[in-house]
Homo-oligomer: A and B are copies of this chain.
Amino acid sequence: MNQAISMSDAPPLRDGAHTDGTAGACAAPFESGSDSPGDGCAGTMAQHLCVIRSNEWVNDEYKHMVVSAPAAALAARPGQFFHLECPSGQRGTAYLRRPMSVYRIEPADGRIEFLYKVQGVGTQGLSEMVAGDTLNALGPLGHGFALPDACDHVLLLARGVGLATLAPLAGHAVAAGARVTAVLSARSRALVMSEAYLREVGAHAHIVLDDDRSSDLVPLEAKLRVLHGSNPFSFLATCGSNRMLALLQRLGAEWCVPGQVAIEQLMGCGIGACHACVRPFRAEGDVGRRSYRRVCWDGPVFDIQETLPW
């Protein structure tokens, strides 16, 4: 396995030579629906050997992994993901890789972060990794979020682990000059993550919870209407809940505001070859026709109106 494996350049850049994460990278490496790799990003996708810096619990269910990543991996954009080789753990060895969104990219620090829920065999294996271990990360893969040209106010509506996918868009949108409002939905206060990180990058974070029913659809819709009323959204992004997706589709259509959603699906290859990761989508411009698209290659970020709640 000595092909196209890049090693993290140690030591990571810590100051000087500040590389902007956006420079040279592209949000949409390949044209959606096409099989041919575009020219723009050719060569950035690779198996990267990343050295773990830390891998800590953030609450009872989620862990936060920080790795040193080589330059090509640092070209990852918000919404893109890595396909991770999971080491053997207490529940055994995962046969296939596991997809994981980039939760934070800090090119200046040579650092990528993941936020993940420990679920089954693969994430259990990841959870047992310790500082100094090497993570084989294939990527960056897929299409990230694409903000519209004129973008004043971005809504991030995240549920549960969907936050891991949306979080990096906050800083990215702020850097692009937009105001960012993040609405975080969780079962309970203890499960709300990243509020501080979002505020740090300049987003306005609101919390809605199952505990006090503020996450129910009716109060949530009311809250979004108020937010939109006081400062109209120009882009809606969501991840992690089917019901929230349906709500944003409705509101987006009513307000004529575009949006995107990041979707999950079980994956085989992660690079468009196996067609295992499809979901049905509405054909562009033809609401009656559906077709399958590959989450790994045509997504995982899709137009909010073309996506079918499942």
Contact = CB atoms under 8 A, between A and B. Distances in A.
A194 B119 CA distance: 47
A92 interface: yes
A93 B93 CA distance: 9
A93 B92 CA distance: 8
A54 interface: no
A88 interface: yes
A92 to B, nearest CB: 7
Interface residues of A, number: 3
Interface class of chain A by DSSP: loop
Interface in A92-119: 92-93
Contacts of A93: 88, 92-93
A92 B93 CA distance: 8
Interface string A74-94: 000000000000001000110
Nearest to A90: B88
Contacts of A92: 88, 93
A308 to B, nearest CB: 40
A23 B93 CA distance: 45
Contacts of A88: 88, 92-93
List 5 tightest A-B contacts by C-beta distance, closest first.
A88-B88, A92-B93, A88-B92, A93-B93, A88-B93
A90 to B, nearest CB: 8
Interface in A241-279: none
A221 to B, nearest CB: 49
A167 to B, nearest CB: 34
5 contacts: A88-B88, A88-B92, A88-B93, A92-B93, A93-B93
Interface string A9-29: 000000000000000000000
